[in-house]
A = this chain, B = another copy of it.
Amino acid sequence: MESQILTTPPNFAPATSEFDANAWMHVQLQRTEQALSAWVGVNAPANLGDAMRYAVLDGGKRLRPLLVLAAAQSVQGLPEAAIRAACAVELIHAYSLVHDDMPCMDNDVLRRGKPTVHVQFGESQALLGGDALQALAFELLTPSELEVPASVQAKLCRILAQAAGAQGMAGGQAIDLASVGKTLTEQELRHMHSLKTGALLEASVAMGVACATVPAPVQQALARYATALGIAFQVVDDVLDVVADAATLGKTPGKDAANEKPTFVSLMGLDAARSYANDLLEQALAALHDSGLQDVRALSALAHLVVSRSH
């Protein structure tokens, strides 16, 4: 079945006549920003709350929340569970950026065009603020059982914890750290990214799906979509790191090359990396088709966005 998809990728241009992807995204981004603003850093001790809000609000593409909401919509998941999951996964992403930017890690001073959290608030607040954001992610997933059924809460926490931890995002970052100055094989590079960025992108889709009760084959198809999208995201990131400037990117470009970090571009060359990103888009769209779900237009639009983005 997998090989059939790979050899005969169907054509899934977004059905713009029926579905306005920009309008959908606008509405979902608004919901997400409002929810994050209502939930993050509220009632936290002053400096800590400020650092948490600075790290999360008014910035970021919100790709992970959009994936959660699109996946939840495709399976008609519970809206309250979906918006909580959308915010929770974004908090994990945001805390990882805060910690990753710190002097003992990447020592980055610019993020989304603004000073990084430790530059703005000091290292201790960046450390604590990141820690508090991770805890808040799980707090958002566990409201009273009147708001979200316990079985959904447990599933969401399970998916997110696995994706964030040593066998997910944190593990990928550890491999990334250990790989500086080394020549990774393509397989090793893939493994590192499948943990460092892939795990959380895949979790986003899985959490959206977990907002409903869905047959295993549908889950599996959407998981294939998420895997392809996760790799595509990283390939495009590597391409942009080479071709974009700081103003477009909102962060320091060329950083990976300067740090001697291996990338898809350094391994395959720029043209092959671009072409690979398009192949992955087709795989993602084929998986959506395979799911048999009626309404995958938002998921489809997000896959296109990931590959065509300029920052």
Contacts and interface: CB of A to CB of B under 8 A. Distances in A.
A43 B124 CA distance: 30
Given A102-B127, A142-B154, A161-B142, A41 B166 contact: yes
Given A47-B178, A166-B41, A174-B48, A134 B134 contact: yes
Contacts of A124: 104-105, 177
A107 B138 CA distance: 29
A112 to B, nearest CB: 21
Interface stretch (A29-37, A70-78, A145-153): A145-153
A154 B145 contact: yes
Interface in A193-249: none
A49 B166 contact: yes
A125 B174 contact: yes
Interface string A145-174: 100001101110110111011111011011
Interface in A117-159: 122-125, 127-128, 130-132, 134-139, 141-143, 145, 150-151, 153-155, 157-158
Interface centre among A43, A45, A95, A175 (most CB of B within 10 A): A45
Contacts of A287: none
25 contacts: A44-B174, A47-B174, A48-B166, A52-B166, A96-B131, A102-B104, A104-B124, A104-B127, A105-B124, A128-B174, A131-B131, A131-B164, A132-B165, A134-B134, A135-B161, A135-B170, A136-B161, A136-B165, A137-B161, A138-B138, A139-B165, A142-B158, A150-B150, A150-B155, A153-B158
Interface of A: 41, 43-49, 52, 95-96, 99, 102, 104-105, 122-125, 127-128, 130-132, 134-139, 141-143, 145, 150-151, 153-155, 157-158, 160-162, 164-168, 170-171, 173-175, 177-178
